[in-house]
Chains A and B, each alone.
Chain A
Amino acid sequence: MRRRVIFDNKVLPYVLVAPQLAVTLVFFFWPAGQAIYQSVLLQDPFGLRTQFVWFENFTTVLRDPLYLGSMRVTAIFSTAVTLFSMGAGLLFATMADARIRAVHVYRTLMTWPYAVAPAVSAVLWLFIFHPSIGILGRALLGLGIPWDYKLNGVQALILVILAASWKQVSYNFLFFLAGLQSIPRSVVEAATMDAGPARRFWSIILPLLSPTTFFLLVVNIVYAFFDTFGVIHALTGGGPAKATETLIYKVFTDGVINLDLGSSSAQSVILLLIVVTLTALQFKYVERKVHY
């Protein structure tokens, strides 16, 4: 990363990095440090005394059935969101990659949902699946299915998964399409000689797409973990009976609403470790791609 020709100026580079560095220090490093610091402290309910307790907050959190429940919800939620949005993205990308007319019309029509905020996506689906006014909510009731996502935890989870996946399909579609279009035509044509479409897809195209797939896997998990806060906040508020309370939502409720700093900080640190792991995985893959 070192250039041969550089400017020699003693003060200017510091001035140039100063704004970025200032924001980073004040709003990233300092708070992250605070989170780690708070996570080993215990505060009495009135906030008068604090005590150093080593990893007690972590053991409390990890033994808390509510936290474990929230981990379960997060696991189901992020697996489902990742599977649905990547599956649909891949399906549509494969279809758009076929040599058909009007491909860019479809591409445009499939791109725009990326712009929809997760919370707005939640509002749109709420209007459709509302048990008393929603067009599909009422249809389900008409079919004799007791549909009420405000009372039924499983139904609530299905609805947040739907709203969170719907807007993420575009992203996966665009990356899969870019991946498919970078596969040389000659490879696909050669495969056409001796394999049917299904076989061609599973044994030629999918393996060639694996770098894209792996990259998207990480991005989608990160999305499901962190960016879907708005979906849950707008649709269910974590309920009913914590059926849709993901890890990030629990940090919010424990920290902002219940004001339990120690526990919320310990949870933040656990999330931090998850992000670090995911980012490390992603960079390991980038590294590999460079060496190939």
Chain B
Amino acid sequence: MAAPARSERWIPHFVLAVGVAIFVFPIYFALIGSTHEASVIGRGEMPLTPGRHLIENYAQAWNLGSGEKVRGTPVHTMLTNSFLMAMAITVGKIAISLLSAYAVVFFAFPLRMLFFWMIFITLMLPVEVRIIPTYKVVSDLGMINSFSGLTVPLIASATATLLFRQVFMTIPDELVEAAKIDGAGAMRFFWTILLPLSRTNIAALFVILFIYGWNQYLWPLLITSSREMETIVIGIVKMIGTGDAQTDWQIIMATTIFALIPPVAVILFMQHWFVKGLIETEK
């Protein structure tokens, strides 16, 4: 192919730069907002450059989560809650999906296909569709405002089971045979051969599920009402309330930045796994 003309070379750069600018734009203003005083923002006089209250605002958000008007939960509490919730959902989903995919692929037993379809069909039952009855089940089990109520209902995963099933199907029969000849039992095979072979898929899935868990909104909104259990995404929205001009925007914006750092860091540092996981789980 002939080298593209000069004009053809700068157009992509220009369009992509505009795109990146649109992506960065709201983050930039959140950062700026988090470095000024509430009164400056409230008057609508926020400059386009950083102010001098960065450390003070972030420390206040971290330790108190409250300002003059806003009565919130300290960011360190909310970050811990979000992290624990995301990790429990991620590890839970991966663990129970590994086990069920293993059973479905490596064993022959009655009801095998029925179980597989029962898991598969949950793809069509997102939590949003069964909000009220699921809430009722959790409340009947006395799990409202509990960590298990927050996480356990979300850990069933058809996507992860399907992915691991596909991975397990590609394991050559010879490998299983060799393991059996060497006297490895079913669980020994699972731990020493299957798990190490699925390492890359587990890493890819981890990134996707961590983001999924971190960004949960409707479920924690219903299940948690106590301050101690508040996740950071819910916490920010509660801080805003009715969205008056005269509120502690600098604290809200500092909290927003805190909420963005963990999932964005996971994506940036594990970008390779993320893209792999994204494309694979959706196949």
**In the docked arrangement, what's the CA distance between A121 and B240, Å?**
14
**In the docked arrangement, what's the CA distance between A14 and B103, Å?**
8
B100 touches A115 (CB 8 A): no
Smallest distance from the beta carbon of B138 to chain A beta carbons, Å?
Answer: 8
B105 touches A271 (CB 8 A): no
Query: In A187-207, which residues have CB < 8 Å from any B CB?
Result: 189, 192, 197
Query: In B93-108, which residues have CB < 8 Å from any A CB?
Result: 95-97, 99-100, 102-108
Binds B, one of A43-51, A55-63, A73-81, A272-280: A272-280
A132 touches B44 (CB 8 A): yes
B107 touches A110 (CB 8 A): no
**In the docked arrangement, what's the CA distance between A99 and B4, Å?**
9
Per-position 1/0 for B1-39, Cβ under 8 A of A = 110100011011101100110111111011001000000
Binds A, one of B51-59, B69-77, B112-120, B198-206: B112-120
Smallest distance from the beta carbon of A122 to chain B beta carbons, Å?
Answer: 8
Interface of A: prevailing SS: helix
B119 touches A24 (CB 8 A): yes
Partner of A16, one of B100, B125, B169: B100
Given contacts A110-B20, A268-B132, whether A230 and B46 have CB atoms under 8 Å apart is: no
Q: Which residue on B lies nearest to A222, using beta carbons?
A: B126
Given contacts A20-B156, A135-B46, A233-B237, whether A34 and B107 have CB atoms under 8 Å apart is: no
A114 touches B237 (CB 8 A): no
**In the docked arrangement, what's the CA distance between A126 and B259, Å?**
16
B237 touches A119 (CB 8 A): yes
A251 touches B99 (CB 8 A): no
A-side contacts of B177, CB under 8 Å: 5
A-side contacts of B64, CB under 8 Å: none
B-side contacts of A8, CB under 8 Å: 107-108
A-side contacts of B48, CB under 8 Å: 135
**In the docked arrangement, what's the CA distance between A92 and B12, Å?**
8
Answer whether residue B233 sits at the interface, using C-beta atoms and an 8 A cutoff. Answer: yes
A124 touches B267 (CB 8 A): no
Smallest distance from the beta carbon of A8 to chain B beta carbons, Å?
Answer: 7
A88 touches B119 (CB 8 A): no
Answer whether residue A40 sits at the interface, using C-beta atoms and an 8 A cutoff. Answer: no
A28 touches B122 (CB 8 A): yes
**In the docked arrangement, what's the CA distance between A211 and B164, Å?**
24
A19 touches B99 (CB 8 A): yes
B237 touches A12 (CB 8 A): no
A-side contacts of B267, CB under 8 Å: 111-112, 114-115
**In the docked arrangement, what's the CA distance between A261 and B135, Å?**
12
Per-position 1/0 for A1-40, Cβ under 8 A of B = 1111111111011101101110111111111111100100
Partner of B156, one of A24, A133, A251: A24
Answer whether residue B193 sits at the interface, using C-beta atoms and an 8 A cutoff. Answer: no
A268 touches B16 (CB 8 A): no
Per-position 1/0 for A198-235, Cβ under 8 A of B = 00000000000000000100010000001001100110
**In the docked arrangement, what's the CA distance between A109 and B20, Å?**
6
A-side contacts of B91, CB under 8 Å: none
B233 touches A120 (CB 8 A): yes
Answer whether residue B67 sits at the interface, using C-beta atoms and an 8 A cutoff. Answer: no
Answer whether residue B191 sits at the interface, using C-beta atoms and an 8 A cutoff. Answer: no
Given contacts A1-B169, A20-B100, A219-B282, whether A6 and B12 have CB atoms under 8 Å apart is: no
A-side contacts of B33, CB under 8 Å: 127
A120 touches B152 (CB 8 A): no
B15 touches A95 (CB 8 A): yes
Q: Which residue on A lies nearest to B141, using beta carbons?
A: A26
A95 touches B217 (CB 8 A): no
B-side contacts of A29, CB under 8 Å: 118
Smallest distance from the beta carbon of B153 to chain A beta carbons, Å?
Answer: 4
Q: Which residue on A lies nearest to B104, using beta carbons?
A: A17
Closest 8 CB pairs of A and B: A31-B133, A34-B133, A16-B103, A117-B215, A115-B263, A230-B217, A124-B26, A13-B107
Binding site for A on B (CB under 8 A): 1-2, 4, 8-9, 11-13, 15-16, 19-20, 22-27, 29-30, 33, 41-42, 44, 46, 48, 95-97, 99-100, 102-109, 112, 115, 118-119, 122-126, 128-138, 152-153, 155-157, 161, 165, 169, 173, 176-177, 180, 185-187, 189, 211, 214-215, 217-218, 221-222, 233-234, 236-237, 240, 243, 245, 249, 252-253, 256, 259-260, 263-264, 266-268, 271, 274-275, 278-279, 282-283
Binding site for B on A (CB under 8 A): 1-10, 12-14, 16-17, 19-21, 23-35, 38, 88, 91-92, 95-96, 98-100, 106, 108-128, 130, 132-133, 135, 138, 150, 166, 169-171, 174-175, 178, 189, 192, 197, 215, 219, 226, 229-230, 233-234, 248, 251-252, 255-256, 261, 264-265, 268, 271-272, 275-276, 279, 286
A and B contact pairs by CB, cutoff 8 A, 24 listed:
A3-B169, A7-B106, A8-B108, A19-B99, A31-B134, A35-B132, A98-B8, A111-B274, A114-B211, A115-B263, A119-B233, A124-B26, A127-B253, A128-B25, A133-B245, A169-B19, A229-B128, A229-B217, A230-B233, A255-B132, A268-B129, A268-B130, A272-B130, A279-B123
